[in-house]
Amino acid sequence: MAILISRYERRDGVDRDAMARAALDVCRANRAAQGMRQARFYWVNADSIALMFDAESAEVFDHQPSPDQARTMFGLADLARNVGIERWAEARDGEQAYRAAGR
């Protein structure tokens, strides 16, 4: 299992409802991706949201986005600024990467 969390801050003058709808569109497009288990968004505060994607493996996040995924991500980027991305992996996957590096 792997998780990707991406934070967005609302651009000046953007309607909060429009930003929420754009985030929901991103989640819907990503739920259709092969290997994606869950895609949701959360309000962090009145001007920020976090998108959380839960996938079977971290490799899901390395694939080129589908046209629908790209369209929705650009739609969100028009309304909000990406301020951070975190990729989380299970401890087992981290250990395997460590050992594969010859450590």
Strand partners, 36: 55
In this predicted structure, what is the pLDDT of residue 98? Answer: 86
Q: What average pLDDT score do residues 30-34 get?
A: 94
For the chain, the residue count is 103
DSSP 54: E
Query: What is the rounded CA–CA span in Å between residue 27 and residue 19?
Result: 12
**Helix residue ranges per DSSP H, the chain:** 16-31, 67-79, 91-100
- Give the domains, in start order, of the chain with CATH numbers: 2-100 (3.30.70.100)
Supply the pTM of this predicted model.
0.88
What's the confidence (pLDDT) of residue 49?
98
Please report, to the nearest 10 degrees, the dihedral formed by the alpha carbons of residues 36, 69, 62, 64 taken in order: 130
pLDDT band at 91; cut points 50, 70, 90: confident
> pLDDT band for position 41 (50/70/90)?
very high
pLDDT category at 96 given cuts 50, 70, 90 is confident
| Residue, of 14 and 58, whose pLDDT is higher | 14
